Amino acid sequence: MKRLNRLQKALALAVGTVAAAAAVAGQAIAAPPSSDPGTMQPQVVGGTRAAQGEFPFMVRLSMGCGGAMYADNLVLTAAHCVNSTGNNSSITATYGDVDLQGSSRVTRTSNYVYRNPGYSTSTGGDWALIRLSSPITGAAKLKIATTTEYDSGTFTIAGWGAASEGGAQQRYLLKAQVPFVADSSCKSAYPSLKSAVEICAGYSQGGTDTCQGDSGGPMFRRDNANAWIQVGIVSYGEGCARPNYPGVYSQVSALSSAIAAKATELGGGSTTTPPTTTTQPPNGRVFENANNVNIPDAGAAIYSDVAVSGISGNAPSTLKVDVDIKHTYRGDLVIDLVAPDGSAYRLKSSSTSDSADNVLATYTVNASSEAANGTWRLKVQDTYAQDTGYIDNVKLTF
């Protein structure tokens, strides 16, 4: 098995999505084999063959990546494995058999891909969701970790990638175990490690690792109920199973909220189009706008409109405003909620000291004096030059 190398990752971000485009065309993601010790690559090295049904949630993707079933119609994989967000029918998912040519295998084509747009940022995370054209009813799912409780110990890795650095990808599913590596140790190998959203695993002596063709596959372990739980997504590494170079994985516990929210938008277990209007949660009605709106650098304010209807009387005193903004310096941003009558409620002020990426937050507004129905607007203005971004999503819960 083999992962995306760091150089490829940087090149893909800088000059277009060359590696990802190759993936969509059905080519392997990782760079060609190299004897250069500076070449990073992902596969399962030092593993053994998995038994049929041992890891029933595993998925093989036709672009040369792995994944895990998140819902009957959703596969969780890595952002670097796919080209972009949008309709996509070019990917084939194979599920249900350790043998990719086995009689028990089930295949589905994709119909939509969501690629986390901020995966290259310090808080983004290398993850994506692939929606299938029709659900695999009753598919085994791999639940994701929502806390750091399971982000240590010994993990299981599995995939159809190469069994040795530079080797061929496999017909049969391989498995292995790798121990957790602390961030402080991992940074010796990878000084640019994104500790907030990445987790490392491997042996100091090498010998066991993911490798070429394993990108996007899960790293998992048993939880307190003895059920499998996903703690990582195969992302990148220096070669395959080299001493003192552990594998690097997206840290699922740090990304679980964003993954779950997007999975719900993608239908959760249906094949419906990602909702852009209204959903009905247990404790209130949610209205949202999932259309991206670009934020001009040090420019005029822009708006993301949310149309609200069917609500009796005024808005609640605890109106929830969920904001998802991708931006490379969130301190630049001033954010307001504008009611249908034009009244503005300040959600966030600018701050020159807040250099972190992105705004992923829930604000509570006392809007009880406002009529609920009408067009509510999220108003965003970038007040300083150099950094840019866009509104990804806004939700109002009444």
**Known catalytic residues?**
80, 126, 215
Q: Is 23 left (phi over 0), alpha (psi -120 to 50) or beta?
A: alpha
Task: Take residue 305 and report the two structure tokens written for it.
Answer: 């409109």
Taking a C-beta distance cutoff of 8 angstroms, is the pair 79, 3 a contact? no
DSSP character at residue 371: B
Distance in angstroms (rounded) separating the CA atoms of residues 321 and 259: 19
Helices marked H in 190-335:
252-265
Q: Rg for the chain (alpha carbons), in Å?
A: 22
Neighbours of 389 (CB within 10 A): 24
| Closest among 389, 394, 393 to 298, alpha carbons compared | 389
Joined tokens for residue 322:
């969920």
Cα 358 from Cα 361, distance rounded (Å): 9
In this structure, what are the phi and psi dihedrals at residue 148, rounded to the nearest 5 degrees? -85, 5
What the block records as the tokens of 27 is 């080519």
How would you class 32 by CB atoms within 10 Å of its CB: exposed for 0-12, middle for 13-18, buried for 19 or more? exposed
Q: Rounded to whole angstroms, what are the CA distances from 15 to 9, 124, 263, 390? A: 10, 19, 29, 20
Question: Measured on CA atoms in the order 320, 325, 328, 333, is the torsion positive or negative?
Answer: negative
User: Please, which residues have CB within 8 angstroms of residue 283's CB and are 6 or more apart in sequence?
Assistant: none
Return the closest-CA partner of residue 391 out of 205, 118, 81.
Answer: 118
**C-alpha span between 118 and 325 (Å, rounded):** 10
